[in-house]
Structure 1
Amino acid sequence: MRLLFLVLLFLQCSFANVLSAKDAFKLDILANEQALILKFNIAKDHFLYHNQLKIKLNDKDLTALINYPQGEIKQEQKVYFHLLELALSNLMLDDYVENDSKLSIWYQGCSNDGFCYAPQKREFRIFKEGQIYKTSPYETMQSEEEQIAFSLKNENLALILLSFFGYGLLLSLTPCTLPMIPILSSLIIAKGGTKPSKKQGFLLSLIYVFFMSLAYALAGILASFLGASIQALLQQTWLLVGFSLLFVFFAFVCFSGFNFELPKSLQSLIQHKTSKTKGVLGIALMGFLSALIVGPCVAAPLAGALLYLADSGSFLLGGLALFTLSFGMGVPLLFVGLGFGFLKPGFWMQRIQIFFGFVMLVMALWILSRIIPSNLIMLAYGILGVFFVVFMGLFERACNGIQKVKKAFLILILAYSLMLFLQGIFSINSSLNFNQKEVERQTLSFKTLQNLTQIKEIIEKEEKVLLYFTASWCEYCKILDAKVFSDERIIAKFANYEKIKIDVSENSPLQLEIMKEFNVFAPPVLIFFDKGERRDKITGYITSDELLKRGL
């Protein structure tokens, strides 16, 4: 632990001089009675490219009308070091400034160390007061993750890590992290036996959370290199199937210790495999994999972290921040470990382990639900529920009040399981004669595109455009499709939009290129454009009522 901290601290210090684009090329606008002065303060060992400068006032390109200083030649290109001042004369502005005019400035630069920044764009409102033209930042609605990323840029390391720890606590309240609780609980029982102490439970939880945090840190570091969502890359079908089989394996481990009559060969295999993962290795492996695959939802704090490190270039700081975020997200899991210290051993512990065995099977189905039709998953849940109540003693005699209450709950679970089973059967039968056209009339109709050039052309051509990034494995996308986009109010509000759906299920190079272009790390994401300009961006799930307040 101490060695890891020293290595990270050393590497962080090594890369601490990497500046963000706004710090490397600080742009100020000064005004006097003769002109507006665009003043670029260029950081030491950085430079701006002359041919990447572009200035527009509304729709008028002023780039060729400006007098430029001599500059220097670097690699056969004209560049500017230290300071660049460009004057927009009042005589020029008088010809083009109208009410609510917009001044747009494009620029790009690099550092002498070989690090180049993405093209930058700044926008300002320009207006006249007396004889002087003044400017103010052009207000565009920032997405939630962009606000988070912006708030981090001027903070020191301690405040950044503290902020991400707070974001992690918020993430721990989202539904996506809840599956980790039964996973960890079953592992503690499996590793600690029927008498896990408070200290043992806490240490196992700490190992789980630590390696889960390492996985998030690794995802953040890799994201700075790849420019795309690490979690999205890990939503491949073969990985989902493999991980669901791993949950089935853990379920068999829970069952096999209590006379669950498996074939002798399978029992021998389970005992052989589990004997190899005694100690911390199995917990560490599950913590690492759980972070990467079981927690695929990208809420605004995590998306903001990825956007921050992608923009700043400080990938090691981003890795530390994501580690802290994940550790904050794991705080409830540490309390789970402490809770096991209060458990008293007894016969009921056998039922607890059987319970967690079924939880593991539920988790396997939950993972497969991203690639298997929902009606089949519903049918499987119903069948699993029936087996659960039988194994938990539904047909055993109730001798006291507590057992009667337990039996009552089991009867309710049985009723719900039968309902799921019947709904699954009904859904399968209904789907055979389903009229797809009727559904299309009741939901938002999107045009599916996978060509970045076509998407850009539509954004420039159409007055209002809505981009919807989705994927077949995206949980919240399914809810958006089923509940939000079928809302009559939503259909009416976005009726005059050009609606484009971008499916990123396969994470192909073409899809990753589109995601990188629009700063999308993982679905669902909604981006709104008005006359070619981006006005709003929504990351993650949003309700119908909230969506009605957004957009244009």
Structure 2
Amino acid sequence: MKRLLTLLLVIFMVPAFADSFLQSAPTDSVFGGSNATQMDFLPSEQAFHLEKKKVDEQGVHLQYIIADGYYLYKNRFSFKTDNPQVVIGELKLPTGKIKQDESFGEIEAYHAVLDIVVPVNNPKGQGFNLEVNYQGCAEKGLCYPMETANINVDGIVSTAKVAADTHDTVTSPPTTSEKSINQDRTVISWTTLLYYFGFGLLLSLTPCVFPMLPILAGIVLRGQVRRVRAIFLALVYIVSMALTYAVFGVLVGLFGAELGLQSRLQSPWVLIPFAIFFTIFALAMFGVFELRLPSFITQALDKATDKAHGGSVLGAAVLGVCSSLVVSPCVSAPFAGILLHISTTGDALGGGVSLFTLGLGMGVPLFVIAAGGSMLLPKAGMWMVVVRNVIGVMLLAVALYLLSRVIPGYIALALWGCLAAGIAVFIGTFDFFQTKSKPQKCAQLIGLFLIVYAIAAWVGSFQGKTDPLQPLHTDSVLTSSGVTQSLNWQAANNQQELNHLLEQAQAQGKLAMVDWTADWCIACVKMEHEVFQQVDVINALSDYQLIRIDLSNTTPLHRQLQNTYKVFGPPTILFFDKEGKELSSLRIVGEMSKKEFLRHLSQVSRYNQ
């Protein structure tokens, strides 16, 4: 039995570790590809090739051919015309692929092929120029500034309604890019499936489920004493239950896709109700009230369950389906939260596979009992209530995460502190006058850490900080003598200002470093925090003339600078020697870690010795 459990553990864990290994492989390894900082990036017009396909009554049909390894931001598109008599109708862009970013949160992006129909209200059929604004990035870290393309349209007669005059939405049929994006989104990692499997196992250990497992095993197995037969019946029950959950996942995923919840998940009108729902689910897990199906449904399912006879394949299957429908109070709240999450993805296949995996995890204890390993399961006790409360805290954290997208960051940080303090009080951190067991003492120790975090979050919130992972993080560094230290950047917005700063560096006999950055550049923000604010990097750059060109709001003068120095976009770093000449072979394109950047600086120094 122990060998069987070990084998099952290996089967589920090896793919997850393999997936993590491949994701964390060095960029220059066999698994990781080439080093992004040394690769040649494509010009914007090649990375995002735009064509006008046709013009008809629906509008102007545009197509982007996006190079492999590049993507476009959905929320950075804008369209306008140069003719006041021609007005853009309400546009509905295809659903993009969700990308989770540690700096900017969830973004929606397009890959491969993107087809867009721009509806136009042009009753007189006049010619006009369509201005298309867009922005994209390379997967390896380079972000392009906002690009503008002008499309000449000879004339079009359209009945498209203007967004300001009506609530009707101009829709287009599913495009090739939308289909390919949806197909790409259904690729689920082993890590994600492992999370769902573990969460299902956690749900089976709640006080409403775990104590009933021996009774359930007796009903399903119906006195079967042969171990192989018992295992087979248990698997039938588990798979039937998991398939029923999968059906729910598929249906809810389709429902969310039809409503377009994924694209609307940046709206406060969606985020706030969802946060309220998750809070309600959390309160249900804390025992404030119970979430149950209506009695007329549960009574009908109970009758079906009573008619099913255990000990047979059909009976085990019927019991599995019915048990998945009659969810217990401890399962209903988190299950509803999971369904709500799947609805926002709009991914039917992914939702089905995820909930199928969740069902398998919930069936593990029953499988262990059927395999004769009931002695390996823990005894029922207060730990089950702890499991239920942990799930409740997880639901509260999800609610706060959703809410943090629509409220100021410093308020969200204060709420994270309140959540940590509430947990600490709930687990008895300040109860010092009663005798405690070892687990309770460990909980009390954890509570003290939570109190420290809560105080740090409140102090950080008061100071205007927003990062819950680094509530007291500052943009400057204290030296050992207690003096605040930071990089002294000089801004350049045109060629004249840049030349002046380079001449200043040359007159002082300094090397010059020119950093091209932008606030929308994910890699730039990451390098700002993880590289340029580190004390050893600040010391290494102490003898440099530091120049920064900010492309957050690109102007024609910025584009002129980009063309002069052949800079596609940020992050790009140029080095100039003491004679004012660029060290082109030492140019940095893309993101670098602190260690790589310091090594690169040593190469720059050797080059100028």
> What interval of TM-score do these two structures reach, taking the shorter chain for normalisation?
0.3 to 0.5
Return the TM-score normalized by structure 2. Answer: 0.38
Bigger relative CO (Cα 8 Å, ≥ 6 apart): 1
Return the TM-score normalized by structure 1. Answer: 0.41
